[in-house]
Structure 1
Amino acid sequence: MAGTLPFYIFAFVFGAVVGSFLNVCIYRLPNGQSVVLPPSHCPNCDYKIRFYDNIPMLSYLLLRGKCRSCRTPISLQYPLVELINGLLTLFLFIKFGPTLTFLFLFIFSSALVTITFIDLEHQIIPDIISLPGIIIGFVASFFLPWLGWKNSLIGMLLGGGSLLVVAYGYQFLTKKEGMGGGDIKLLAMMGAFLGWRSVPFIIFVASLVGSIVGVTLMLVQKKDSKLAIPFGPFLAFAALLYVFYGREIIWWYMSLAGPSPGG
């Protein structure tokens, strides 16, 4: 453990630093802005953020959650994204070690963090993340023996196709648009990265958790069934759950059924 501790620390710090960049993407992509230029600045007073004010989580605490220049409050989202991405990177490294699987799933999880926070605030999933993600996931399949390109291709088609059928079915029955195209592309990306076996798991878990959260919010806020809740964060949660515990959960569920007759 002592020998691996520095690597664990590095993984967490690296993930948190990338999380700082993800905050830039979360803020700028929905507004059609470049994620490179201009450099990070306060949106209120345009103060150019110095490197010592951009240390993940630590700078937020030292500045007491306010801009150094104009003292405008900084959203808690910034250290939260950095913390979440740091922890995800750490857990991926613990589970997979310094492997190509870790590298590609790190890219995958970082994309999901970005998508989750954009979808929560704007209820959109930018194509600039999901479409390249589909390609990267498929390319990764040629380097990951446990995935394979056929598994990835079927996962991509099954993921996107299944939600497309649901979306058209809902629209046909209700004459209203229910599920957005962003969710369809997102699930296609998930299928490309994780293979076709992940798709039923992700749909089931996301639908179950989404239903529980949706009903709870309607009861608490006393709103009707027209309450709009983005589905992307639930898909992201289900996909990450599959990455870390998918096989264990599936085996546990199968064991509940008991042995087959005559088995």
Structure 2
Amino acid sequence: MAFLDQNPEIGYPLVAGLGLLVGSFLNVVILRLPRRMEWQWKRDSREMLGEPELYDPPPPGIVVERSHCPHCGHQLSWYENIPVLSWLALRGKCRSCKAPISIQYPAIELLTMLLVLACVWRFGFGWQGFGAGLLTCFLIALSGIDLRTQLLPDSLTLPLMWLGLIAAVENLYIGPKEALLGAIAGYVSLWSVWWLFKQITGKEGMGHGDFKLLAALGAWCGLAGILPIILVSSLVGALVGGAWLGIKGRDRATPIPFGPFLAAAGWIVFMWGEQMVGAYRAYAGF
């Protein structure tokens, strides 16, 4: 790691290539994890209700099964699975059936590469840069899943929270006390909003996964980061969500996933939270 810090002309290309590869894997997580979860839920429900077992083969696994075309089942060769380049070479179509390949694939790969590069630029090639990259990958996967399914899986939010608390034990970004208070405040703050909204309207205004995601972000950003995350995510969510509803011609009752806005705001605050607060204080004359 010290070698890479001293030779960034080698480190940055390596991190860029790794970011593209990890982005390709995140696409698999985004697409396959919700299907695996749904399959497990149905299986558990039948077992709890005492219903007979049905022939219901599991969806493709996240790690073992090879990538394939969702339309014709064509298994991708290694040269069809090169991040970004394969999509461009195939012109966004399956080589076998010519069905269109979603632009999500290269978009997630490029986004992961750029954000991971930003992490090592901000924190270096050591453990801080690695931890920031890990947080980034979790947030990308959670955002992609929430956009597609309006789910924030516990199998991602809870490990992310524990990783933040473990990093705090070593004072990697913040201390243990700040991380613990941040996790508690993150969960309680959104839970309180959800509870009050439900008491007033009788409806649930957000999913429980949002509480856990903000708790995880609190473990990484600390107590001081909770309010900026909530403010930034709410502002961006209102602007982007309102524009989306207007473009699609939907009414305000249409549910909009809040996780991506939380994730984006949390990433920004994690990366530049101190600078943001400092600039605000200077502007306000504190």
Q: Is the TM-score greater than 0.5? A: yes
Mapped to 1, the partners of 2:15 and 2:277 lie a distance apart of: 29
Where does structure 2 lack aligned partners over 5 or more consecutive residues?
37-58
Where does structure 1 lack aligned partners over 5 or more consecutive residues?
none
CA positional deviation for 1:171: 0.5
Within the candidate set 116, 119, 128, 1:92 is matched to 119
Mapped to 2, the partners of 1:241 and 1:151 lie a distance apart of: 18
Q: Which one-letter code corresponds to 1:164 in the other structure?
A: W
Mapped to 2, the partners of 1:56 and 1:231 lie a distance apart of: 28
User: Following superposition of structure 1 onto structure 2, how do residues 72-221 of structure 1 map, counting pairs within 5 Å?
Assistant: 72-221=99-248
CA positional deviation for 1:220: 3.3
Cα offsets for 1:133-169 (capped at 9, x unmatched):
1111111111234412111111111111111111101
Mapped to 1, the partners of 2:127 and 2:170 lie a distance apart of: 8
Q: Which range moves more in the overlay, 132-141 or 15-24?
A: 132-141
- Paired residue for 2:22? 18
Mapped to 1, the partners of 2:268 and 2:221 lie a distance apart of: 12
Q: Which range moves more in the overlay, 181-190 or 128-137?
A: 128-137
**1:170, 1:178 within 8 Å by CA — same for their partners in 2?**
yes
Mapped to 2, the partners of 1:144 and 1:71 lie a distance apart of: 51
Q: Which range moves more in the overlay, 137-146 or 78-87?
A: 137-146
CA-based RMSD of the aligned residues comes to: 1.6
Residue 13 of structure 2 corresponds to residue 9 of structure 1: yes
Q: Would the alpha carbon gap of residues 28 and 125 (structure 1) be closer, same or farther in structure 2, given more than 3 Å must change?
A: same
CA positional deviation for 1:51: 1.3
**2:68, 2:74 within 8 Å by CA — same for their partners in 1?**
yes
Residue 63 of structure 2 corresponds to residue 36 of structure 1: yes
Cα offsets for 1:70-94 (capped at 9, x unmatched):
1111100000000000001111111
Mapped to 2, the partners of 1:125 and 1:241 lie a distance apart of: 20
Q: Would the alpha carbon gap of residues 66 and 189 (structure 1) be closer, same or farther in structure 2, given more than 3 Å must change?
A: same
CA positional deviation for 1:216: 2.2
Mapped to 2, the partners of 1:242 and 1:53 lie a distance apart of: 37
Mapped to 2, the partners of 1:144 and 1:51 lie a distance apart of: 41
Q: Which one-letter code corresponds to 1:133 in the other structure?
A: L
CA positional deviation for 1:13: 1.0
Within the candidate set 45, 60, 63, 2:90 is matched to 63
Mapped to 2, the partners of 1:173 and 1:207 lie a distance apart of: 20
- Paired residue for 1:233? 260
Q: Which one-letter code corresponds to 1:4 in the other structure?
A: P
Helix, strand or coil: the match of 2:24?
helix
Identity %: 40
**2:67, 2:76 within 8 Å by CA — same for their partners in 1?**
yes
Mapped to 2, the partners of 1:98 and 1:143 lie a distance apart of: 17
CA positional deviation for 1:222: 3.8
Q: Which one-letter code corresponds to 1:191 in the other structure?
A: G
Mapped to 2, the partners of 1:247 and 1:15 lie a distance apart of: 26
**1:101, 1:144 within 8 Å by CA — same for their partners in 2?**
no
Mapped to 1, the partners of 2:170 and 2:98 lie a distance apart of: 48
Q: Which one-letter code corresponds to 2:14 in the other structure?
A: F
Q: Which one-letter code corresponds to 2:126 in the other structure?
A: T
Mapped to 2, the partners of 1:241 and 1:44 lie a distance apart of: 37
Mapped to 1, the partners of 2:92 and 2:136 lie a distance apart of: 26
TM-score (norm 1): 0.94
- Paired residue for 2:56? none
Residue 254 of structure 2 corresponds to residue 250 of structure 1: no
- Paired residue for 2:77? 50
**1:203, 1:235 within 8 Å by CA — same for their partners in 2?**
yes
Mapped to 2, the partners of 1:161 and 1:50 lie a distance apart of: 48
Mapped to 2, the partners of 1:223 and 1:68 lie a distance apart of: 37
Helix, strand or coil: the match of 2:169?
coil
**2:21, 2:83 within 8 Å by CA — same for their partners in 1?**
yes
